[in-house]
Amino acid sequence: MAKKALITGITGQDGSYLADLLLEKGYEVHGIVRRTSTLGRSRIDHLYRDESIYGHRLFLHYAELDDPTTLRRVLLRVAPDEIYHLAGQSHVGLSFEIPESTCEMTAMGTLRLLEMIRDMPRTPRLFHASSSEVFGEPATVPQDETTPFAPINPYGCAKAFATQMVTVYRRAFGLFGCNGIMFNHESPRRGENFVTRKICQAAAAIKLGRQSELRLGDTTAQRDWGDARDYVKGMWLTLQGDHPDDYVFATGQLHSVGDIVQHAFSTLGLDPAQHVKQDPRFLRKVEPQRLVGNAAKAIKNLHWHPETKFEDLIGEMTRHELDVLAGKPESTP
């Protein structure tokens, strides 16, 4: 009998790739979606429109992290073997503008889910997608599973709370709960409000003559950027072990925003110096420093490896944006 998986945030970048992966592995996949006035689910349209998949191996359910009744109803109806908790307000910059809702969705939403799982007749395994933002300004470089949390933005604080609560429930109640501390990861499905997608999209628009310049904040800011498709494999591997544990998923390499600009523009034969300008409006109030991960534990215990090179990822994202803007038929990246 096929395993059942429930994904919160299935319409996001990671959720959509995870759905692809689990369906490939023969799972029955259930996803939680928010009820909105629009039906835009572009990242899973290729699954939603496939009559052999949707309604047979893929099912979507309306629920909200801040609505315990709907969430509990879905959990009891589906009775999943595995839960992948990816939903929440995930934009760091935006968390300064909406700190209360960020904490309500990301922190308290996770706690509500833990309480419901605790009461289920058959307890599923839980993967919680944590973030490198829990480290903020770390005392040591690189960061691993033993690095103390020191968040410096509302999103990081909310994730730190959620991550520690998963650990508490694992220790106190025997929950098979795991945290994946995910460093930055990108793909052609990345949202438009993230700097990686913004840069790749702008390079394509400039190449086609639809845009003349790109305005950015601090281009010296550095992150450990990987490929989302590599990272969702880590999510699945985390729940296949005999014992629950926490894992860092990262490439171990730092790159700057300026590196993204250089690779994106050079992919299309453009000189970024002619088009990129700094705009103080996009400078963050506080910028985490030296966030680079050590994934040695995941590599050893899960046999996980980041497979995609940074420059190849940015090149793929940029070419995808060019194809979309040029009106070429879209494949599923």
**Which residues are catalytic, by number?**
131, 133, 155
Instruction: Please report where in the chains the tokens 């194809």 appear, as a residue.
Output: 323
Say how many residues make up the chain.
333
Residue 173 and residue 114 in contact, taking contact as beta carbons nearer than 8 Å: no
The CA-based dihedral angle spanning residues 64, 66, 72, 77, taken in that order and rounded to the nearest 10 degrees: 0
**Which of the 8 DSSP states describes residue 143?**
B
CA distances from 171 to 23, 243, 246, 317 (A): 31, 12, 12, 41
Cα–Cα dist 223/221, whole Å: 7
CA distances from 227 to 68, 198, 222, 317 (A): 33, 16, 16, 11
Residue 83 and residue 117 in contact, taking contact as beta carbons nearer than 8 Å: yes
Nearest to 16 by CA among 243, 232, 204: 232
Collapsing DSSP to helix, strand or coil, 278 comes out as strand
Q: Which residues pair with 130 in a beta bridge?
A: 181
Residue type, 103: C
Cα–Cα dist 80/90, whole Å: 25
Cα–Cα dist 40/43, whole Å: 9
Tell me how many degrees the CA angle 72-7-179 measures, rounded to the nearest 5.
Answer: 95
Cα–Cα dist 108/131, whole Å: 16
Cα–Cα dist 31/234, whole Å: 19
Q: Phi/psi of residue 168, each to 5°?
A: -60, -45
